[in-house]
Structure formats: structure tokens, C-alpha cells
Amino acid sequence: MGLSEAARIQPARRRLVELLLGGGVLSSIAAFVYPVLRYLIPPPVPDLGGDEVVASKVADMKPSSSKVFRFGTRPALLLMTAEGEYRALSAVCTHLSCTVQYRNDLHQVWCACHNGLYDLTGRNVSGPPPRPLETFQVHVRGDEIVVSRKREA
Amino acid sequence: MSLFTGVQAWLDERFHWAELIGPLKKKTVPIHKLSYWYFLGGITLFLFFIQVGTGILLLLYYRPGANEAFESVQYIMTRVQFGWLIRSIHSWAANLMIFTAFAHMFSVIFLRAYRKPRELTWLSGMILLFLAMGFGFSGYLLPWNTLAFFATKVGTEITGRVPVIGHSMMVFLRGGEEVTGATLTRFFGFHVAVLPGLTALFVLIHLGLVQYFGMSVPPGLESRWKASPGEARQMKFFPNFLLRELMAWYIALGVLGALAAILPWELGTKADPFAAAPAGIRPEWYFMFMFQTLKEIPAKLWFMDGEVVGILVFGFAGFLWLLLPFFDRLGRGRGRRLIMGAGLFALSYIIALTIYGYMAK
């Protein structure tokens, strides 16, 4: 084997060694990093709220009053209109997820964070909210007011 | 031989001490009408030291966790001797530090200290400013009060609205889909471990670069001094400038102590994730201009949700701001005027929207 031939072959061999070494180092780094990345993602929380919740007692609600209650993992708003009708809405503002409240002086639903307003059916009326609030079904069962998610028919 | 020179000789024998601190001894600071602006970076550093000190003290009593955090801060404020003072100083120094960092940044823009060869100094400084805002955002939640809870909810929701990667970033920050005790645990970890480590690293880089390049002289003065070197005036950094800087630190400490004692930081009410956001909800003042902008953007802009447009515009503006020094040498002074204009616009926008944010209901 002449000198020139050795010089021609050697870089190929060297590249193979570099590839094996580099690949080994890279895959061991990947083996460290992958579990860490997975560790950073929080495990899912089971939604124990179900599709139905007792929002309030009938005796606790008066006309033109409201109550924020827990529906699954998020807050929701139970309203009694001046006419005595119950309404249940998601209390999570569609703008940036603050918790909304009923304003008796405006007869509207108001978000304190960025001044968003909704009417009592959940429709976004003014301010930054881009979408209406999600609405839920309300039933009175005995002395309890039960709120449930709307079933798609 | 006094003790001091003895120690010096001992160190010199082993580490060549004189050689190590040689460059520091040679460092000078230019003297001119605008020299006062050189103090701002140092004051920011001093306030950071205060944060480290008071932060460690708070750690002795603070307990992270949704059921304990508020009570432990309450305990610090009411039961621990001088606890109210330590916490107030921590809160006030945090705010003053952000303020001096912003002032330092704008002084660098208007005195054109960012120009070649100091682009990387600017970049490291901007990273430090982002880290400082990260400190503010994460620290704000730690007392687990109502204001902080909703500010965090909105702030992380904003991250969530970034297209494509937003949602996973939000879940990463919150430690789940919602702001819960898991968020508090994460923010606590960021606030006391991740951010301090990164900040220490970047402070070293930033100071190293400042040391390496020396102090910038405003360009007009610089060319005049170059033409007639006899006019150039400077003082030694050590001890002349350092003693003046120490005086500035002492004044900053006085202001801080007075603010903390006269206007102790409030704690508010404990956060309830299932209660409505109270009226008058607002973030810390240095996020106010962004908060107010998001409030003013209409719900729909063309085909996109208004807030997504706002977030993207702020993100893009922030990115351009980061690269500002690299525009300086664009076509015969055009870039320079562009940067000046951008600086003036940003400063007046921030001031105007912040004032508007506090005046508007």
C-alpha cells in the first residue's frame, strides 16, 4: 500500500470513527434529554367533575343574583334573571380566561380583567372577548339547582 | 507589614494577584456632562444583590403550595420580627430594579452606547432585562393572593395564544391546563433556582463585556476627543468612580428603606380559583402598557382574534428591539435615525399607555 493510497483511505476510516463516536455521544445526550423533556410535561388531571353538578340550593338564589360555582376543573356562573329564570354559563372569559361575574347594576356579565361584557345569554356584547361564553343546561331537582353540559343531539 | 498587605502578598505569591486585578486597576471612566447615566447599571446590580439577600431571608419562612403560601407570607408579615420590612424591601427593590434597568436601557439607546463593538453587551443586557421581568412575573404569584392569581392566569393565557407552540408552553408554565398549586410550585422553582442561576451567568458576561470594551463615550464627544486628545477627561474606576458609585448605592438604599418603611407592600386576599376576578385587577406596572394595549384591541381584527394580533405584534417588536444595534450602520445615518425614532416611540408609548392604564377604569 503506497503512501498516497493510505492517505486516501484514512479519511474514510476516520470519518467512520467520528461517526460512531459522534453518534454515540449524541444518542447518550438524547437519552438524558428525552426523559427530562417528558418529565417537564405535567401528567393529565382526571376531570372528576363529570357532566353534572349541583350548583346551588333553590333557597340561596334570588331574582337578579348570581353565584360562581365549580364545574369540573373550571369555574361557572349560575344566574337568576329578574324574571326568575335560571341560566348557567361558563365563567371563563373567552378573551384571556379571567373569571367573569354578574353585574346587577348593568344586568350583564362582566370581566374585571379587560372590561369585557356579555349579555345574560352569554353573548359577547362589548370589549375584547371574541366569542360568547359556553352555556349549560339548568334543572331544578327538588331543592337543588343542577347544571349539566349540553348534550349534542 | 500590615495585615492587608500581608494577605495581598500571600495571594500574589500563589495566584499572581497583581496580574489578575491589573486590568481592573487600569479601567477608567470618561468624565462629561452625561456621566451620571453611567451609574444606572451599577444601581441595578446593587438592587439585584439586595434581592438575593432578602430573597434568601424570605426563604427561611416561606412555604410554597396553594394551602400554605399565603399563610406563610402572612406569618412573615405579622409574626416574624421585621418580616414586614424584609418582604417590603424585596418587593420594592424588585420594582426599583426593573425601573433602573429600563432607565439604563433607554440611556444606552439615547447615548448610542449600543453601537459597534458593543452589540453583544446590548444583547446580554436585554437578556438580563427579560430575566428580571421573569423574576417579577414568577415572584408576583408566590404570595398566592387574588391579584397575583388572575395576573398569572392572564399572563400564562397570553403565552397560550401564541400560534403553534403556545399551548404546550402554557401547559409547561402552569404545570397543567389551569393555574393551580402546581403552577405555584413551578414558579417557585423558576424564581429561586432557574432564574438566579441564569442571571448570575449573564451578569458575569455583561460585566465582562463592559470591562473588556471600556465605557462608551457619546459619539459626538468621542470624535471631538479624538480630534484633540488633550480635551479628553477621565477618572480611574478604582477608587474614584467606585466611591461615587457607592454613594449612589447608599442613596438607593436610603430611598428603598424609606419606601419599604413608609409604604409597606400589601398582601391582599388569598386567591380562590373558583371566585370571580375582582374589579381593579391589574398586573405589575411594567406590564401595564401591554395589558392596556390588550384591553384596547377590538375582539376581531380582519380574520384573527384581536389579542392574538396584539401578542404577535409585541413579540415581533420585542425581537426587533433585541436586534436594534445591528440596524445602526444601515445606509448613511438612516439606521441611526431609525433607532433614535424607535427609542423615542417606545419610551413615549410605554409612558403614555402606563399612565392611561392607571387612569382608565
Which of B288, B295, B301 should we substitute to test contact with A (largest number of A Cβ atoms within 10 Å)? B295
CA distance to partner chain B, nearest, from residue A112 (Å) = 5
Task: Verify cis geometry, omega within 30 degrees of 0, for the bond prior to A46.
Answer: no
Identify the residue with better confidence: A1 or B59.
Answer: B59
Q: Are B136 and B286 in contact (CB under 8 A)?
A: yes
Q: Which helix (H) or strand (E) holds B301?
A: strand B300-301
Q: What is the ipTM of this complex?
A: 0.70
Identify the residue with better confidence: A61 or A3.
Answer: A61
**Residue B14: inside a domain, yes or no?**
no
3-state secondary structure B321-337: HHCHHHHCCCCCCHHHH
Which of A45, A96, A105 should we substitute to test contact with B (largest number of B Cβ atoms within 10 Å)? A96
Q: How many whole angstroms separate alpha carbon B191 and alpha carbon B141? A: 10
Q: How many whole angstroms separate alpha carbon B99 and alpha carbon B92? A: 11
In chain B, residues 265-284 whose CB comes closer than 8 Å to chain A: 273-281
> From the centroid of its chain, how far is CA B25?
29
C-alpha cell at B91: 418587593
C-alpha cell at B222: 468621542
C-alpha cell at B142: 408566590
Q: What is the pLDDT of residue B246?
A: 92
C-alpha cell at A50: 363529570
CA distance to partner chain A, nearest, from residue B205 (Å) = 26
Q: What is the pLDDT of residue A59?
A: 85
CA distance to partner chain B, nearest, from residue A1 (Å) = 53
Which domain range does residue B250 map to? 27-277
Q: Is the pLDDT of residue A49 over 60?
A: no
Q: What is the pLDDT of residue A47?
A: 64
Q: Of A4-8, A82-86, B331-335, where does mean pLDDT reach its minimum?
A: A4-8
- Judged by CB atoms closer than 8 Å, whether chains meet at A113 and B298 is answered as no
Helix B83-110 and helix B242-262, axial crossing angle in degrees, nearest 10: 130
- Judged by CB atoms closer than 8 Å, whether chains meet at A99 and B278 is answered as no
- Judged by CB atoms closer than 8 Å, whether chains meet at A75 and B273 is answered as yes
Domain residue spans in chain A? 1-43, 52-148
| CA triple A68-A69-A75, angle to 5 deg | 85
Residues with Cβ within 8 Å of B289's Cβ and at least 6 positions away in sequence, in order, are B349, B350, B353, B354, B357
C-alpha cell at B255: 430611598
Q: What is the pLDDT of residue B21?
A: 79
**Residue B351: inside a domain, yes or no?**
no
Q: What is the pLDDT of residue B278?
A: 86
C-alpha cell at B128: 438580563
**Residue B247: inside a domain, yes or no?**
yes
- Judged by CB atoms closer than 8 Å, whether chains meet at A128 and B172 is answered as no
Q: How many whole angstroms separate alpha carbon B56 and alpha carbon B169? A: 29
DSSP designation for A92: B
CA distance to partner chain B, nearest, from residue A26 (Å) = 25
- Judged by CB atoms closer than 8 Å, whether chains meet at B277 and A100 is answered as yes
**Domain spanning A52-148: CATH 2.60.120.590:** no
Domain count, chain B: 1
A80: β partners: A65, A86
Measured between beta carbons, the chain B residues lying within 8 angstroms of A41 are: 168, 171-172
Q: Are A50 and A142 in contact (CB under 8 A)?
A: no
Residues with Cβ within 8 Å of B235's Cβ and at least 6 positions away in sequence, in order, are B28, B29, B31, B241
Measured between beta carbons, the chain A residues lying within 8 angstroms of B153 are: 96-98
C-alpha cell at B272: 380562590
CA distance to partner chain A, nearest, from residue B173 (Å) = 9
B235: β partners: B29
Per-residue pLDDT of chain B (361 residues; tens, 9 = 90+): 688 889 888 888 888 888 877 777 888 888 888 888 999 999 999 999 999 999 999 999 999 999 999 999 999 999 999 999 999 999 999 999 999 999 999 999 999 999 989 999 999 999 999 999 999 999 999 999 998 999 999 899 989 988 899 999 999 999 998 999 999 999 999 999 999 999 999 999 999 999 899 889 888 888 899 888 888 888 888 888 889 999 999 999 999 999 999 999 989 999 988 888 888 777 889 999 998 888 888 877 777 888 888 889 999 999 999 999 999 888 778 888 999 999 999 999 999 999 998 887 5
Which of B307, B309, B314 should we substitute to test contact with A (largest number of A Cβ atoms within 10 Å)? B307
Q: How many whole angstroms separate alpha carbon B220 and alpha carbon A50? A: 70
Q: Could you count the other beta carbons within 10 Å of the beta carbon of residue B118?
A: 21
pLDDT tens per residue across span A67-82? 899 888 889 999 998 8
Q: Are B183 and B174 in contact (CB under 8 A)?
A: yes
Q: How many whole angstroms separate alpha carbon A110 and alpha carbon A124? A: 10
Q: What is the pLDDT of residue A153?
A: 45
Q: How many whole angstroms separate alpha carbon B45 and alpha carbon B252? A: 11
Average pLDDT, chain A: 86
